[in-house]
């Protein structure tokens, strides 16, 4: 999926002053951004998080998932390191969209797990596409990275596009009574690297 670079601006955040780079998919017009911090030059692998949009978790403080917690911890990790990239990808609900995500949540309210809910709606368990990351990273001059993820599919996907993932950095945060079953399902059915009895004390 080809994307084109649009523009860059300064973005002050509680975690540091980032640069925000805007990109647009050539075929669909869908918009994505990359937040960068520090000097991106050099041969050292870059600390990178690819984060798919989650309006409920990222903006509305939902405790049904770990997305908002992961977003904040990724930005903190980049700030601690002094350099890194967070790519924010507009593919809500593992690619099914916001309204279908609400439908899936309703099914979960009535006993389905996160995989079963997507399948009952006629979707695959995970429809996300990471091909846009190749053009975004190439624009930023990044070929080797340390990827913050618990999802082995992300490592495999980026590697298939010729991006060298030299290390997977775990990002286990935000377990709480509202998302325990969700996280356990990601571990058991989607193969995510998660500790089922992870002991977190999430703070919003």
Going by the annotation, the residues of the binding site are: 49-54, 65, 67, 70, 92-94, 114, 149, 154
Q: Catalytic: 64?
A: no
**Binding residue numbers for Zn(2+):** 54, 65, 67
Q: Catalytic: 135?
A: no
Cβ density class 172-187: b for 16+ within 10 Å, e for less: bbbbeeebeebbbbbb
Let me know: does 166 contact 194? Beta carbons within 8 Å. Answer: no
Task: Please give the C-alpha separations between residue 58 and each of 51, 87, 93, 134, in angstroms, as whole numbers.
Answer: 10, 14, 12, 24
Residues in Cβ contact with 109 at an 8 Å cutoff, skipping those fewer than 6 apart = none
Secondary element (H or E) of residue 79: helix 67-81
Q: How many CB atoms lie within 10 A of CB 47?
A: 23
Catalytic residue among 58, 113, 126, 135: 126
Catalytic residue among 66, 128, 135, 184: 128
**Binding residue numbers for GTP:** 49-53, 70, 92-94, 114, 149, 154
Distance CA 96, CA 23 (A): 21
Residues in Cβ contact with 57 at an 8 Å cutoff, skipping those fewer than 6 apart = 64, 65, 66, 67, 68, 69, 71
- Which sequence positions are flagged as catalytic? 126, 128
């Amino acid at each position: 999926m080809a994307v084109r670079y649009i523009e860059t601006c300064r973005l002050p955040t509680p975690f540091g002053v980032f640069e925000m780079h805007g990109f647009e998919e050539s075929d669909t017009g869908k918009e994505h951004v990359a937040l960068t911090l520090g000097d991106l030059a050099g041969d050292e692998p870059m600390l990178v998080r690819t984060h798919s949009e989650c309006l409920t978790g990222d903006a509305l403080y939902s405790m049904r998932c770990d997305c908002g917690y992961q977003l904040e911890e990724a930005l903190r990790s980049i700030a601690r390191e002094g350099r890194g990239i967070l790519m924010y990808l507009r593919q809500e609900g593992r690619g099914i969209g916001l309204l279908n995500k609400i439908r899936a949540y309703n099914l979960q309210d009535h006993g389905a797990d996160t995989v079963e809910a997507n399948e009952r709606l006629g979707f695959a368990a995970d429809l996300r596409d990471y091909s846009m990351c190749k053009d975004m990273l190439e624009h930023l001059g990044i070929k080797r990275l340390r990827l913050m993820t618990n999802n082995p599919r992300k490592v495999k996907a980026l590697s298939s596009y010729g991006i060298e993932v030299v290390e997977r950095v775990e990002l286990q945060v935000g377990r709480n009574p509202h998302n325990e079953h969700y996280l356990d399902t990601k571990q058991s059915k989607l193969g995510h690297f998660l500790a089922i009895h992870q002991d977190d004390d999430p703070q919003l």
